[in-house]
Amino acid sequence: GMELAEKIRETDQDVILIFCTNLQQFALNGYSVGALGFIVKPIQWYSFHMYLTRALKALQNRAGQKVTPPHIVVKDGTVTRLLDAAEISRLYQKYQTPQQVIRHMRKVAEVADRLMDGMKMCGSRVRVMQACLLHDLCRAEKQHARESAEEIRKEGYPAIAALVAVHHQVAYSEREAQGPLTEAELLFYADKRVQEDRLVSVEERFRESRKKCRSPEACAHHDAMLAKTLKIEKKIIKEDHKRIRR
């Protein structure tokens, strides 16, 4: 890869280079050929999307014109809608989503992306990622899950809205616990592994949130949410063991 990059630089000083490597210690060598960045294998969707968007912005700055960002196709029933980075940014601005909430959602997307690597699940990986990036769109509202879902539905993304609507829902049947891993469970669990914009354990996340409980009802709800999270975590660990054996 490095030899090829050096050959390219002999004839073209402007082409954008992004390295994909499983040897992080060699990443520094890329600066000698002016690489834009490095993606460490196994490639995560979030990292790939970030660097591709960064490359397009660099092209836009050079050309002095707008370059269309990468589109992500989301299928809602029979209609194919395009939900890209620019559209997500537009929604953040429209609904005045605070920066700390945006950082939280991006971290949740990163966690979900890592969880889904090589994992068998029912549903769409892309849809999970989009739901992660929008699940707290209206976080300032008291019923933020319901409000966020309603606004996302009005924007024309009902499948994503359906996931967002249940990301804070405590109901969880034994049948669901025994069934295959779902999109909703991945969003729910990834969200519960992030405190603000930090990856934390389930225990730490719920230890902090319990401090906010001010009534017996709130404590009971909190305990039920913890129980649901641990059941989903058990499913994820079981599925991960299956993946390793494969």
Phi and psi dihedrals of 136, rounded to 5? -115, 30
What digits encode the pLDDT tens for the residues 163-212? 999 998 999 999 999 998 999 999 999 999 999 999 999 999 999 888 88
Which structure tokens are listed for 193? 């592994």
Q: Is the pLDDT of residue 127 over 90?
A: no
pLDDT of residue 242: 60
Mean pLDDT of 99-118: 90
d(CA 209, CA 188): 15
pLDDT of residue 58: 80
Helices (H), 64-135: 85-94, 99-116, 125-134
Exposed/middle/buried for 178, CB within 10 Å: 0-12, 13-18, 19+? exposed
Residue among 73, 95, 92 nearest 82 (CA):
73
Residue among 148, 172, 173 nearest 162 (CA):
148
pTM, two decimal places: 0.68
Which H or E run contains 20?
strand 18-21
Which value, to the nearest 10 degrees, does the dihedral of the CA atoms of residues 84, 86, 87, 92 take? 130
What digits encode the pLDDT tens for the residues 136-171? 999 988 899 999 999 999 988 888 999 999 998 999
d(CA 23, CA 152): 40
What digits encode the pLDDT tens for the residues 1-51? 778 888 888 888 888 888 887 765 555 566 567 777 777 777 776 677 777
pLDDT of residue 163: 95
What digits encode the pLDDT tens for the residues 51-95? 788 888 788 777 665 545 444 444 444 334 557 777 888 899 999
pLDDT of residue 79: 39
Which value, to the nearest 10 degrees, does the dihedral of the CA atoms of residues 188, 160, 91, 55 take? 90
Task: Give the C-alpha distances (Å, rounded to integers) separating 140 from 34, 85, 97, 146, 148.
Answer: 42, 22, 8, 12, 10
Which structure tokens are listed for 213? 């409980």
Residue matched to tokens 């354990």: 201
